[in-house]
Chains A and B, each alone.
Chain A
Amino acid sequence: MTLQELYHAIDGDYEQAMRVLRIEKLLDKHIRKLAKSGVVDALLIAGEGMEPTALFETAHAAKGVCGNLGLTKLAAASDIAEEFRPGNPRRMSDGEVHDRLNAIGALYRKTAEGIAQYENG
């Protein structure tokens, strides 16, 4: 499986990732690190406790990492970051936040599975 095939399989934006990282070697390194970094797992765990500060910080981190890696759908975690950014009014109900996190979780599992297949060749 090539990196491009991986991005196709996980609905990522390969061109965007390459614009940020420039060389495939770097992209390979960082996409492999995604699951190990636990950055999206931390967001999903924060969602269980619904603690605003933790939700903001983890969503903010996930948004940045996924955005840089061209994982644009996962980077939609930015909604959660804006929802819990200090000073911002809440716009979603807790139920909607859970729904959004569930969608992110499903997408992340698909992404992690794709990366595992990529790592196994």
Chain B
Amino acid sequence: MFRLLICLGCALMAYNIRDSVDVARRVRQLELPELPPKLPFLPAALSALLLLCGLAAGIFGQPGPAVTVILLAGGVLALVMNHLLEEVAQRAANREPPEVEPIEFIAPEFTAPHSSPAERGPSENAPAADELAAETARLRARIGELAAMSRVLRAPTSAIRALDRAALDEPDAPPCCREGLEALDLSAQCLLGLIDGMQEIARAEDGVSAPRSETFRLSDALGRVSAVIQALCGEKGLTYYVSQRADRRCLGDEARLTEALLALLDNAVRYTDAPGIVRLDVERADGDGDVRGLRFTVSDTGVGMDAARLSSLFDGSARSLARVKRLIEEMGGALTVQSEQNAGSTFTVTLPLEPAEEAEDARAEDIPAPPKRSLAGRRLLIVEDNPANARLVAELLSPEGVKTEYAESGRRALALYNGAPPGYFDAILMDLRMAEMDSMEAARRIRALNRPDAKTVPIIALTSGSLSGNVRHSLAAGVNVHLAKPADAELLNDTLRRLVGDAREVEEEQA
């Protein structure tokens, strides 16, 4: 019975996807420059994720009443959301003649006369002024429509997120379904951020918007972006890598950063064919004067651009990229691009994102310049179900004088750790995902052990980009730090030095 209902929900979701794509195309055809470029396709992505959850629950799970009701309700809400989008798009289409210029051109120089009134007769000047005034009014009305649309969209999106959270709280949800629900939650958060961005645009028209200075955790923002891009890459048969070599709580405008990264990554996905690669690298960009910044590099193996296209890239012909450039410059950053035809493109964003005050950062994972503590003689437990990877890590650490032991699963790691005397292992390095007891469960059990070092032994997880959505949960399970795979040797050493030293200091204080 439940399977039948889930099948019904899946059919509804398939209809929603087709409907969403149609609506998204129509909204895009309207070429609303103030509309975040990702927004029209996010309902389709949400519907696709719900469909995956439904299929996973129906085929592999043991669907209960709660999961069934939640999936069906999610389908109905997605349907409502599509209709609301369609209605607003229709209204915008009716109001706007297609030849209207993009909003960026409502600048003082646009409204200023190109020739003095004396050069033109009154009969020529008056209609032009009227036309401009009417056009400005129409554009302002359109922005009003968008602000209204964003308010309308917020409620069903919040509802989808709430239902998704409820489904995640279901203890019977199968793991494969849970992963989809996690991705759905991140996509919904992303969509809510974009909706807020639309309202911000409306406020900007009233002259009250400026880049925000708020505290946010970089890994959270990247996790949300990655959930959306991973889904897009998966659909297109592309591989998506995230290499995050810096994490910190930042002071800055998370919404603008998220929108800019989404637009650049979406652009990379669009112009890359399977089996291509899209990747996001994040690293510190210190050294530019006193600015403590971050560098975000979005690269792909796609079609690339020739020199002519490259030189005119930000002049308005690619409006989403022109908007990205403007967003970044508003935040005090810079955007550069390198590209070669048929060899891919690389967009580099440098932003002066200041670290938040240490006082606000109770669980900072920023990876600062480490004190040069020696790792010689330290013992590391490597937990990795790929023996070749484990051997390589051991080899990388041996010049530092680190001793290593190996466990092929979380279960084996738990047994090894629990069987060793307190203080025997100085740190644990775990692959996030393993077949027999994953690192989250292993970390949770290690932290729950009744031994003096159980709470302090540093646990480092190695995470692939596709699993970035799990970061929040594994931090809650007791993992100290996530490092992107493949592990950067220098970063791994620095992290070990910092964490091992910190743990020893805590133990000494406790002693």
Contacts and interface: CB of A to CB of B under 8 A. Distances in A.
Our verdict on whether A and B bind, yes or no, reads yes
Interface stretch (B31-39, B64-72, B213-221, B389-397): B389-397
A61 interface: yes
A65 B385 CA distance: 13
Given A19-B488, A22-B489, A79-B239, A103 B464 contact: no
B277 A73 contact: yes
A38 to B, nearest CB: 11
Contacts of A67: 485-486
B333 to A, nearest CB: 23
B386 A87 contact: no
A85 B241 CA distance: 19
Contacts of B50: none
Interface string B391-429: 010011000000000000000000000000000000000
Interface residues of A, number: 31
B239 A20 contact: no
B460 interface: no
A68 B55 contact: no
Interface in B274-315: 275, 277, 279, 301
B388 interface: yes
Interface in A7-57: 16, 19-22, 26, 30, 37, 39
24 contacts: A16-B486, A19-B490, A22-B396, A60-B386, A61-B386, A61-B387, A63-B386, A65-B389, A65-B392, A70-B486, A73-B275, A73-B277, A73-B301, A75-B239, A76-B275, A76-B277, A78-B239, A78-B464, A79-B275, A86-B435, A87-B175, A88-B176, A89-B56, A89-B60
Nearest to A104: B275
Contacts of B301: 73
Chain A binding surface SS class: helix
Contact of B275 (A37, A39, A65, A100): A100
B487 interface: yes
Nearest to A70: B486
Contact of A89 (B59, B243, B387, B486): B59
B183 to A, nearest CB: 14
A64 B489 contact: no
B492 to A, nearest CB: 9
A39 B489 contact: no
Interface in B458-511: 464, 466, 485-490
Given A22-B490, A30-B392, A39-B388, A87 B176 contact: yes
Contact of A72 (B60, B277, B396, B488): B277
A60 B56 CA distance: 23
A20 B243 CA distance: 12
Contacts of B241: 72
Given A76-B277, A89-B55, A20 B487 contact: yes
